[in-house]
Every structure is written in structure tokens, then in C-alpha cells.
Amino acid sequence: MTGMAKRKQTSEGGHGPLRRRGGADARSEPGSAETTKREGSRGASELSAGTGGTGGRREGVGLPAPLVTLPDDDPALAELAPLIARLGHRFVRPALLRAALTTPSWVNEHPAAGWPGNACLEFLGDAVLGLVAADALWRRFPTLGEGDLTRLRASLVSEAALGAVAREIALGERLFLGRGDLKSGVLERDGTLADAVEAAIAAAFLDARASGGDPLAAAAAVFDALLGPRLRAMLENDILLRARSLALGGAEALFKDLHPLVRFQNGALSLDQSLCNGDDGDVHLGGRGLLLMPSAFVWPRLSTILGAPWQPTLAYTPRGVANLWIVDPPPVERSLELLLGQGRAAVLLSLEPPSSTLEIARRLGLVASGVSEHLSVLRLSGLVESQRRGRFVYYRLS
């Protein structure tokens, strides 16, 4: 839109590749200074490659020693195919994913099985996930300060967020748990599921590196496959609703419920000083327009980008963000239940944020075929709309 916006400017916010070193003279005598130097260089290069001193075996390049020799012929690996499809990375060695799903309690009960526990994979995955999330957020919000980016990253990779996506892909059903863990109900805990997500991301990272691929790209692919669809569906739903408001009621309707402290009057958009960082003042858009960008991570504030050379941008909280990581179904009002029936009313209320048939079924504890039937009726009645994204169809309130 054109016009004037009250200025609330936010503040702006490498490492090189590891190089293998060595190349000592092969004619050096054993025990000489040159030989010692060469052996020390070789040891350092093996450590940086992560082989754990395996002598550079091709299949172990880039892998810590406990993961070099895994039971790659384990028949159970074939059962991981559906999960691999959901993770967005084609594993060259599915055994690495199997290791990521193996808890220490299971290893203690099966010491001769040849599988290590996933604790160190969780350790690596936590760091890789933090890097991937930080990179994605900084590219998306290039002018945000360190504090805001840190807060956004913490929200994105929180136990609640990772636990929710783990439940959506039924990751807990694939975990190898000891009998004690099964009895104690660890699968009900977000922490257990979040650890499994981190371990799976680490497995994709190591699988790509060991096979000559880009490890960070592989980790980012898993990150996007797990978190991307739900986020995109919610954001697109908000964009559609605001486009309708603009078409039917103009700019006043568009900004009416954007935020309680945002006001549009006489062609000017006013933002309360408490909403965002930066200096006070007026910014004349001069025909450049104002880009509205829904973001799941700016609540309860707004984020503005108003200084040159950036496109004037206002990032705001979209509808449905409060339910983004909630797995439990919302309570059904009695009047809606009487009108639609208990099951259909529950399905309708579960569409904040937009969800797929399988997500709704898992959330409500219903069979997918029954949910699909309810969605068909709700769509025919005009209460629900559908949109395909990749292999999934997401349903949202009309």
C-alpha cells in the first residue's frame, strides 16, 4: 500500500572449509623428525574427517568411529522407508537413521546387537539444528538484532515445537526403547521426541557428509520437511484472509485486527512505540508500498524494516499461531456439537492452523477415513477449503 508509516526501525544485525594437510616425504626414515611430523599431520586430518583413526576407510569417511561399522544388513532397516520419505533426505546408509532412533535404554538391553545409542547424535543434531535455524532466520529477517534472532530461534527449535512435529510423523513409534522407558511413558514427553528429531537431523548430516554430499543442505532439507509444511499452510491461510479483507473493506479492514496497537487512519499507519525497536519518526513510502509479512516468530511484537535499501516491511503474527504447536484437540462448544455432530465439530475446530487429514486424525484420535469423510461434508457446505502442497492436501477454515 502507499501512504505513510510511523517509523519504528529495528537494528541490523564464516568459517572456511577444513583442509586436509600433510604430504610428508615418503622416503623419510622411521622415527625421524619428518616421519613424526607426517604422522602427527595424518592423525589431525583423520580427526577432522571424523573417522576416529580408521585409516581413511572409504565407507567411514566423515563418520565418528561408533558409526563406521553398523549392521547395514539388519532386516528392520526396510521398515524405515516411510519415515525416510517424510524426512526429506534420501539416506545412502539407512543404518545411520536406525542409530538415531536407538535409545541408550534399548542398547543396555541388547548389548550384542551392534547398535550404538543415539545420545551423541542428539548432541550433534542439537548444534546442527541451531545452525540451520539461525541461518534460515537471519536470511529471512536480515535487519533484526541478535536478541530478536535468538528469541525466534529458541521458539522454532523448542521442545514443544519439535515434539509436535515428531508426533505428526509418528516418530515415537519408530524409536527403539528399553522396557523401562516404555513402562514410564517417555513417549508422552516432548523432550524424548525432540531428542529423536535432533538425532535424525544429525543422521542426515552425517549420511550426506560420508557419501560426498552437502551435510548442511541435507540437514536443512530435513528441517524444512518437518517444520515447513505446517508453517507455510498457516501463513498462506493468513495471507488469503487478509487479501479478502483488503478487497472487501479496503486498508482499514486489512489492518483492523493486525494488532491491538496498530491503527490506520487518514492514509497513515501508526504503530505504537512499545511494539518494536528503533527510533521514532515518520516514514513516507513514496510509492514503494508496504510489504506485509506474516511470521510465526514475532509474537507479541511487530518487526519493521523501513530503512533503505530494503523494501518497507511489516512482519506480524498470523492467525492460528497460538495453536501451531498444540497437539491436543480444542474443546468443542456444545452448540456447535449439536449443529454438526461431535466428530465433525471437532474436525472443524482443529483447522487452526491448517492441517492435513493425517494430522487431524492423529490429533483427534480418529481414523483417517472418518476424518476425510467429515472434511468432504464441511467442504461441500463451504465451511472448509483445501489446498495441495507437495504430496499433502491441507484444509483450512473458509
C-beta separation of 395 from 385 below 8 A: yes
* CA 297 – CA 108 distance, rounded (Å): 40
Q: How far is CA 356 from CA 204, 213, 330, 359, in A?
A: 25, 32, 16, 5
C-beta separation of 315 from 141 below 8 A: yes
Name residues whose C-beta falls within 8 Å of residue 21's C-beta, 6 or more positions apart in sequence.
41, 44, 45
Q: Residue 63 corresponds to which amino acid?
A: L
Residue 359 a catalytic site member: no
| Local structure of 364: helix, strand or coil | helix
Distance between alpha carbon 159 and the CA centroid of its chain, in Å?
11
Catalytic residue among 122, 198, 352, 359: 198
C-beta separation of 353 from 237 below 8 A: yes
Residue 34 a catalytic site member: no
C-beta separation of 257 from 244 below 8 A: no
Catalytic residue among 46, 126, 195, 238: 126
Q: Which residues are catalytic?
A: 126, 198
